């Protein structure tokens, strides 16, 4: 809910805080990078020291970060608040999935429970724009962050009574150096990409990006040498697991980038009010939520191989429907795009987590769930960073060259009509190129799944724990 509200609120935040092009991208995705960098670490910490305790600490910190974000006086403090919320969010997701795994030991019931979990996750995307639209119609932009507080308060009130403490006896400590290098490598790599997209090629940007890649490579090599690694890369030897994790990453990348760009398109290009923009997202969100619930039942009939293929082809088709949009109209194409792509997004939410959690023993459920959620959160952040930067690059190259973003351009006084038209046209071109690239990536992954995953092996394989695979 918090993420989809933010997409809707960004035009208002841009007007109030006037962030630069790179700051705008950081406001959007520093949360995802903080979560993605720390999910694996907190998944392991929860496994060792107690999942309920970690959930409680994380929820309180998330509430504190929400208050800080709501009253941030400038872009720098808003970015810092979002980073705090991301650190707190990293404690919540893997522990929540581990609790589900503990409650439902039967594979079929666990799949249904995770499907419901994913549906509630998706419902947040649907509820967020509506709640955000209502708040933005009446209050200042910071009110969208305060909506988190009632949820946090209810959780802190009821969790001690309803959730028992769960911890395992898994040996080994969390490798702090691995945590630091993975987070630093990811942030340096993305910072370099952002800087190049917003301001052009420079020695600093290239050096930063290369340093990030080097740290990530070193992180991977270190994991293979550790007795108790932060991330067990041996899981990726399994083609099913690999395709499933990529299925967690790529759809979130496509969703985050196109949702962010489409929100700007509807409000800043077509001039629609914020609440109407929110309502237009409802059909896609409803299909996404419904798909999360029914996917486990469909998997029982057609298998995971078929459902993974449907996932990627439906997202690819839905994204292509954004291409007919223009600077004068395209609402119908947007609704159709979100509806068809929403089916694929729902499948990815429902399938990935169950595949990861079901592939390991119960005492590794938190870490496995963390890998699944890491793919989602990294995908969410990479979508804004990579695909969003692609759109920013197109705008910089084709726009009127009076400001680095559409929002900043439209805020300039005394703009000629031709300049406004040029800016909107450049933004729509960036949206089209981004949607096309994301669609081709999903089409390629769908074809790979079609040819790479053998039917019999996928439907009757065994997992790392030696148990029959939940599929």
Across 319-344, average pLDDT: 92
Segment (H or E) for 163: none
State the pLDDT at residue 238: 67
Question: Residue 245: pLDDT above 50?
Answer: yes
Spell out the residues 6+ positions from residue 234 whose beta carbon is closer than 8 angstroms to its own.
none
Under the banding of pLDDT at 50, 70 and 90, the label for residue 15 is confident
pLDDT per position as a tens digit, 346-392: 888 777 766 666 655 555 555 566 666 667 767 766 777 778 878 88
Across 396-416, average pLDDT: 81
Question: Residue 468: pLDDT above 50?
Answer: no
Give the chain's end-to-end CA distance (angstroms, integer): 30
pLDDT per position as a tens digit, 132-142: 778 887 888 88
pLDDT per position as a tens digit, 59-78: 999 999 999 999 999 989 99
Question: Residue 466: pLDDT above 60?
Answer: no
What is the DSSP code (8-state) at residue 200? Answer: -
Under the banding of pLDDT at 50, 70 and 90, the label for residue 435 is very high
Tokens of residue 64, six digits:
């504190």
- Whether 370 and 241 have beta carbons less than 8 Å apart is answered as no
Across 126-132, average pLDDT: 74
pLDDT per position as a tens digit, 286-298: 888 888 778 878 8
What's the whole-model pTM score? 0.72
Question: Residue 271: pLDDT above 90?
Answer: no
Which CATH superfamily is 2-174+230-460 part of? Answer: MFS general substrate transporter like domains (1.20.1250.20)
Question: Residue 469: pLDDT above 50?
Answer: no
- Least confident piece of the model among 12-26, 218-232, 354-368: 354-368
- Whether 459 and 305 have beta carbons less than 8 Å apart is answered as yes
Across 187-214, average pLDDT: 79
pLDDT per position as a tens digit, 114-124: 777 777 877 77
State the pLDDT at residue 214: 93
Question: Residue 165: pLDDT above 70?
Answer: no
Greater confidence (25 vs 399) lies with: 399
Across 253-282, average pLDDT: 84
Report how far residue 360's alpha carbon sits from residue 373's, in angstroms, rounded to the nearest whole number.
15
């Amino acid at each position: 809910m918090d993420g989809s509200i933010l997409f809707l609120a960004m035009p208002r935040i841009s007007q109030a805080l006037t962030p630069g092009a790179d700051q705008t991208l950081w406001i959007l995705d520093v949360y995802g990078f903080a979560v993605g960098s720390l999910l694996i670490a907190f998944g392991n910490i929860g496994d060792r020291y107690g999942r309920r305790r970690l959930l409680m600490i994380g929820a309180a910190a998330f509430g504190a970060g929400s208050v800080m974000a709501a009253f941030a006086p400038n872009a720098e403090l808003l970015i810092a608040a979002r980073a705090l919320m991301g650190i707190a969010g990293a404690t919540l997701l893997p522990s929540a999935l581990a609790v589900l795994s503990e409650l439902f030991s039967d594979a079929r019931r666990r799949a249904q429970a995770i499907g419901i979990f994913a549906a509630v996750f998706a419902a947040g995307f649907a509820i967020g724009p509506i709640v955000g639209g209502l708040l933005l119609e009446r209050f200042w932009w910071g009110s969208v962050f305060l909506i988190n507080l009632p949820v946090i308060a209810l959780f802190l009130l009821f969790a001690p009574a309803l959730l028992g403490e769960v911890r395992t006896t898994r040996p080994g400590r969390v490798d702090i150096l691995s945590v630091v290098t993975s987070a630093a490598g990811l942030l340096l790599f993305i910072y370099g990409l952002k800087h190049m997209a917003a301001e052009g090629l420079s020695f600093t940007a290239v050096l930063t990006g290369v340093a990030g890649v080097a740290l990530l490579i070193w992180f991977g090599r270190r994991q293979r040498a550790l007795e108790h690694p932060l991330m067990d890369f041996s899981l990726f030897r399994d083609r099913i697991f690999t395709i499933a994790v990529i299925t967690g990453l790529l759809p979130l990348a496509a969703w985050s980038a196109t949702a962010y760009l489409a929100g700007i398109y509807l409000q800043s290009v077509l001039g629609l009010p914020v609440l109407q923009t929110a309502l237009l997202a409802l059909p896609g969100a409803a299909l996404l939520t419904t798909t999360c619930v029914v996917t486990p039942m469909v998997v029982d009939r057609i298998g995971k191989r078929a459902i993974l293929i449907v996932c990627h082809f439906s997202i690819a088709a839905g994204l292509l429907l954004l291409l007919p949009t223009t600077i004068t109209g395209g609402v119908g194409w947007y609704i159709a795009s979100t509806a068809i792509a929403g089916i694929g997004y729902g499948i990815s939410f429902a399938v990935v987590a169950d595949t990861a959690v079901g592939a390991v023993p119960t005492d590794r459920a938190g870490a496995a769930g963390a890998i699944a959620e890491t793919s989602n959160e990294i995908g969410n952040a990479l979508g804004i960073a990579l695909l969003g930067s692609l759109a920013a690059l197109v705008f910089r190259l084709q726009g009127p060259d009076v400001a680095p973003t559409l929002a900043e351009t439209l805020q300039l006084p005394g703009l000629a009509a031709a300049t406004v038209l040029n800016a909107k046209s450049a933004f729509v071109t960036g949206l089209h190129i981004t949607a096309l690239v994301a669609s081709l990536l999903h089409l390629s992954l769908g074809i790979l799944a079609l040819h790479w995953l053998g039917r019999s092996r996928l439907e009757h394989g065994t997992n790392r724990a030696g148990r029959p695979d939940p599929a």
